Amino acid sequence: MQTNDINNKGSTDKTQKIKDWLNDHGHPSYEYLQSLARDANPGSLEKLRAIAEDLDLNFNPDISPQELIDAIRKAAEDVPDKFTS
């Protein structure tokens, strides 16, 4: 492997690690939120709820995943620097 290939791989790995950290620590991308909703397992839905709670959103426990995503995105409009696109 050449040096440029190693540097590119390191850069890609670092970018992915940053995205993973942001997704796991309450700064999710819309794509990530959608993936949690599509997954529809209890752990994924709990992650959505935890993100909403981190944003101090008031929501009904019976809210649909898409409604929760919409509420999270609305909160993102108020604090855009907390989220990635």
One pLDDT digit (tens) per residue for the chain, 85 residues: 454 444 455 567 777 776 676 666 556 788 889 999 999 889 999 988 988 887 788 889 889 999 999 998 887 666 555 444 4
For residue 38, the model assigns a pLDDT of 92
Long-range contacts, stretch 69-76, CB < 8 angstroms, 24+ apart: 69/30, 69/33, 69/34, 69/37, 72/28, 72/33, 72/48, 73/30, 73/33
All structural domains of the chain with their residue ranges = 3-82
For residue 27, the model assigns a pLDDT of 65
